Structure 1
Amino acid sequence: MGSWHPRVRWLRTGTSVLAILAASGCVMGPDEFGPQVTSSSTPLDHPISQFRDVLAPYGTWMDLPHIGWVWQPNPDEVGAGFVPYSSNGRWVSSDWGWTFESDTDWGWAPFHYGRWFNTPSEGWLWWPDNEWAPAWVDWRWGNGFVGWQPLAPPGMNTGLSWTFMSADNFVQPDVGSHLLPESRVQELMRQTQPVGEHVVAREGYWNRGPEPEEVARVTGQEVPLSQPMTPPTAHPPRASAKSSEPRSAQGSSPRR
């Protein structure tokens, strides 16, 4: 593994990793990420094995010191300024909470499994894991705004990476075209409050997000629903206010 920039410290605690960005503007060079995936050295039962071949055509796998294998989508695939759970898709409601419906063929994997985190030099990276969630994000809501932040891998803290938009645009297609400027994040953090039920996961939690009824009331628009697919194992759906029969949500297990 390469030498670390003196202003960045990665501390290992048991089997978890705590990332501390000691100061803004710290840089991690590309030589610190290790070699590309070129063999089958990863154990077959490792989460990366389930996603390696699926995602390889659309991005780059890297072995990050103290973190393990991570994946980064190609800019040609996702466009400039890519932000997970914002670019190339929309938010739709399911019985398990708000889920990101990606416009890409491969979006079923990194937007329902694993976690995203942002680095100063490399941008957004995806850490693979095989536990499903409607979206691994936290939510904020209030004063006509909605915000979300990808949940980092277990034991890692990489600071705040919130995305905000007007609640009026929340149920529109192409979420990325409605985002508010980054310069307003601190202001919008003060104007919004945490929202959503936390659901205990194998590692950490995921968040159902704002109630669909509240979103419909604020936006005055019909809430889009997820496509029916097999529900995730061990996570019972939220009871519907209109029916005792839950509708299915998207995603259950990695495609093979």
Structure 2
Amino acid sequence: MGPWHTRVRWLRTGGVTVIAILAASGCVMGPEDFGPQVTSKTGSLTQPMSQFREELAPYGDWVNLPDVGWVWRPDPNEVGAGFAPYSTGGRWVSSDWGWTFESDWEWGHAPFHYGRWFNTPSMGWVWWPDNEWAPAWVDWRWGNGFVGWQPLAPPGINTGLSWTFVSANNFVQPDVGSHLLPESRVQELMRQTQPVGEHVVAREGHWNRGPEPAEVARATGQEVPRSKPMTPPTGQPTRAEASAPVSQ
């Protein structure tokens, strides 16, 4: 196993202190070497997480990050240069649970519904595994004909802003990553848009339903695509069930 060196600087939101990880070393691991995910808030991996390990191993590397634990880095040969989670290789579709990313990759059901993505200076985007389901672990912005989203980092870690924007007309297009607006416009688009979407409390943090599908349809003049049927393990009621009157 070869050494992996990086220099990462994060703000731990829980303690309002900056933790610097300097010259940290780890190993790129195969499935047989994978150990338990351990952070300050979580214990060992459960059986579903072991399944993620085996499913994702052929498509990337598992790396042990100090103070974070085991993360998965997708192989650039698999996802291509310039990969960005919730943008590359898929599209946004509406569901009873909120906007969900429908991935073109056969392994996409894992890292785009479980766990969190964050961007590291030397490795790019990596996925921190967890076993709580959400339609997409992102926050949303909306306004003036634009839609933006940002992956939610692991609990207790703030890695800065990583917003992605598209024109509202391109939001529901296949391969949404091919329609991204230039990174140089992000600050401008942040000023032109506002936070949107209902925050749903999760076991750790929250996830966001995103803009209302009816509003997206009005703004774009396009029919909103719907997700395939899904039954999340969280057991939360769908929108229709949650809004139905309670029988007396």
TM range (shorter): 0.7 to 0.9
How far off its partner does 1:95 sit?
0.3
Q: What do the CA deviations read for 1:125-151 (whole angstroms, capped 9, x no partner)? A: 000000000000000000000000000
Q: What do the CA deviations read for 1:27-52 (whole angstroms, capped 9, x no partner)? A: 976x6334524425435627642311
**Which amino acid is the alignment partner of residue 178 of structure 1?**
H
Question: What TM-score does the superposition give when structure 2 sets the normalisation length?
Answer: 0.85
How far off its partner does 1:230 sit?
2.0
Aligned residue number for residue 218 of structure 1 = 219
1:51 and 1:196 map into 2 onto residues whose CA distance is 29
How far off its partner does 1:200 sit?
0.3
How far off its partner does 1:120 sit?
1.2
Aligned residue number for residue 33 of structure 2 = 39
What is the 5 A alignment of 1:73-222? Answer: 73-222=74-223
Q: Secondary structure at the match of 2:91?
A: strand
Answer yes or no: is the 8 Å Cα contact 1:98–1:134 preserved in 2.
yes
Stretches of structure 1 that go unaligned for 5 or more consecutive residues are 245-256
Aligned residue number for residue 70 of structure 1 = 71
Q: Secondary structure at the match of 2:231?
A: coil
Answer yes or no: is the 8 Å Cα contact 2:133–2:232 preserved in 1.
no
Stretches of structure 2 that go unaligned for 5 or more consecutive residues are 37-43
How far off its partner does 1:76 sit?
1.0
How far off its partner does 1:114 sit?
0.1
Residues 91, 41 of structure 1: CA spacing in aligned structure 2 closer, same or farther, 3 A cutoff? closer
Question: What TM-score does the superposition give when structure 1 sets the normalisation length?
Answer: 0.82
**Which amino acid is the alignment partner of residue 172 of structure 1?**
Q
How far off its partner does 1:233 sit?
2.5
2:194 and 2:11 map into 1 onto residues whose CA distance is 31
Answer yes or no: is the 8 Å Cα contact 1:17–1:66 preserved in 2.
no
Answer with 230-239 or 134-143: which moved more.
Answer: 230-239
How far off its partner does 1:83 sit?
0.2
Residues 17, 77 of structure 1: CA spacing in aligned structure 2 closer, same or farther, 3 A cutoff? farther
1:67 and 1:20 map into 2 onto residues whose CA distance is 14
Aligned residues: 233
Please give the root-mean-square deviation of Cα atoms over the aligned residues, in Å. Answer: 2.8
How far off its partner does 1:11 sit?
7.0
Calculate percent identity across the aligned residue pairs: 74
2:129 and 2:15 map into 1 onto residues whose CA distance is 15
